[in-house]
Amino acid sequence: MAVEEHKRERDPRTGHMMTGHEWNGIKELNTPVPRVVWIFLILTFLFGLGYWIMMPAWPIGTTYTKGLLDTNQHKIVTAKVQRAATDRARWTDQIAARDIGAVRADPALMAFVREDGHRLFGDNCAACHGINATGGQGRGFPNLTDGDWLWGGSPDEIAHTIAVGVNSPASPETRVSQMLAFGRDGLLDNDTVIAVATYVQSLSDPASAKGKAAAITKGREAFAANCAVCHGPQGHGNQQLGVPNLTDGTWLYGGDFDSIYTSIYEGRHGEMPAWEHRLTPVERRILTLYLLDKGGRS
Ligand code: HEC
Ligand code: HEC
């Protein structure tokens, strides 16, 4: 009975009907949904409908409704990748076709080399040679920016080192370098290794020879007999064999007495991977240009 009465009741203040619900004297108005909400709902519904029609939407078995606009993210990405490749090819084609000197003289090409070379170097070489190509001090990874080359610093020599590597099992044509283990393999007794290490240290650090005249003399003789064949009579090294210069103060494995002693006693066997199967010829050319540009001129 009470509900029936309320239902017919109109709120005198707002003019709205009542729902007929009542809680402890609080009555509920039957206000309509505001127009703005209706409009919003209708617009979103229409938008949804339009979107289904225009864009890819519903799965049907093995395919789907393609939509009138024929938008396909796959196609868009493929086109973008293709455009980027064409952009890149504009540069790489020129780098592959022109000679090294001409590329180096072209500022636009070199700007590309610096950017792309930095990326290639970071992805493939930096783990060993360091992000700035300055090498790992004392760990056998040479500095590639100091103009001091084990294997020669001409564009052809650098490109060849990158292609075939050094002592790399991955390339049959790899460069081969071997510093013998004179102490461990018993080629020299320990006293002689100490003497020759003392002599070698004195080549770049004359002050270290002070008070060691006997060892220096013994070391010099042992050097002439055992080492000069590779390192040269004056210790200047040999780029044909990747043999380092021992007189210039630049060290692969460290120039303190202990490091030099270890090099002679244990031998060294630096290994640089071959990149001929992992990088394209033009990528290797970009890296060669990148290193030449870094200041690694011979
Ligand atoms: C796994 C470590 C390693 C990686 C990676 C590596 N290198 Fe080397 N690289 C070496 C070592 C070790 C040597 C020294 C070899 C030797 O003792 O003769 C070397 C030597 C070189 C040389 C000769 C230096 C000279 O003085 O003649 C060049 C050039 C070179 N690397 C370039 C590169 C480039 C470019 C990359 C990347 C594509 C690269 N390396 C990646 C370890 C590495
Ligand atoms: C068969 C050739 C050969 C002979 C002989 C040889 N060396 Fe070497 N030596 C090398 C090569 C190659 C390297 C570089 C090794 C590497 O890159 O891993 C080297 C590296 C070294 C190094 C390390 C240089 C550095 O930059 O850290 C020292 C020190 C050295 N040799 C001293 C000697 C002494 C002393 C003798 C004689 C007792 C000798 N070598 C005999 C080939 C030779």
The pLDDT value given to residue 67: 87
Is the pLDDT at 297 greater than 70? The verdict is no
Tens of pLDDT, residues 162-216: 999 999 999 999 999 999 999 999 999 999 999 999 999 999 999 999 999 999 9
Q: Give yes or no for a contact between 288 and 144, defined as CB atoms under 8 angstroms apart.
A: no
Q: Does residue 6 line the site of ligand 2, with CB under 6 A?
A: no
Arithmetic mean of pLDDT, 214-239 = 96
Dihedral sign (CA 236, 170, 120, 272):
negative
Burial of 149 from C-beta contacts in 10 A (0-12 / 13-18 / 19+): buried
Closest listed ligand to the CA of 278: 1
Q: Band the pLDDT of 4: cuts 50, 70, 90.
A: low
Q: Give residue ranges with CB within 6 A of ligand 1.
A: 124-125, 127-129, 140-142, 144, 149-151, 158, 161-162, 166, 177, 242, 270-273, 275, 287, 291
CA-based nearest residue to 267, from 230, 219, 224: 230
Q: Give yes or no for a contact between 182 and 249, defined as CB atoms under 8 angstroms apart.
A: no
Please state, for a pLDDT cut of 70, what percent of the chain lies above it: 96
Spatial distance between the Cα atoms of 285 and 143, rounded to a whole number of angstroms: 19
Spatial distance between the Cα atoms of 149 and 144, rounded to a whole number of angstroms: 8
Spatial distance between the Cα atoms of 213 and 221, rounded to a whole number of angstroms: 13
Tens of pLDDT, residues 19-48: 888 889 888 888 888 999 999 999 999 999
The pLDDT value given to residue 199: 97
CA-based nearest residue to 109, from 278, 276, 293, 281: 293
Is the pLDDT at 138 greater than 70? The verdict is yes
Q: Among 205, 257, 268, 272, name the best residue to mutate to test ligand 2's pocket (greatest count of ligand atoms within 8 A of Cβ).
A: 268
Spatial distance between the Cα atoms of 134 and 146, rounded to a whole number of angstroms: 8
Averaged confidence pLDDT in the chain? 92
Q: Give yes or no for a contact between 159 and 285, defined as CB atoms under 8 angstroms apart.
A: yes
Tens of pLDDT, residues 233-270: 999 999 999 999 999 999 999 999 999 999 999 999 99
Q: Does residue 263 line the site of ligand 2, with CB under 6 A?
A: yes
Spatial distance between the Cα atoms of 216 and 201, rounded to a whole number of angstroms: 10
Is the pLDDT at 136 greater than 90? The verdict is no
250-258 long-range contacts, CB within 8 A, separation 24+: 250/143, 250/146, 250/148, 251/138, 252/140, 252/141, 252/142, 252/150, 253/138, 253/139, 253/140, 254/137, 254/138, 255/201, 255/204, 255/205, 256/201, 257/197, 257/198, 257/201, 257/208
Atom of ligand 1 nearest to the CA of 239: 27
The pLDDT value given to residue 298: 41
CA-based nearest residue to 243, from 216, 270, 206, 204: 270
The pLDDT value given to residue 270: 93
Q: Give yes or no for a contact between 95 and 286, defined as CB atoms under 8 angstroms apart.
A: yes
The pLDDT value given to residue 286: 97
Arithmetic mean of pLDDT, 40-61 = 93
Q: Which CA distances in Å does 43 have to 2, 36, 49, 68?
A: 41, 10, 10, 20
The pLDDT value given to residue 7: 53
Is the pLDDT at 280 greater than 90? The verdict is yes
Q: How many residues does the chain have?
A: 298
The pLDDT value given to residue 1: 45
Pairwise pLDDT comparison (49 vs 69), residue with the higher score? 49
Per-residue b or e along 241-264, where b marks 16 or more CB atoms closer than 10 Å to that residue's CB: ebbbbbbeebbbbebeeebbbbbb
Atom of ligand 2 nearest to the CA of 197: 35
Tokens representing 48? 């949804």
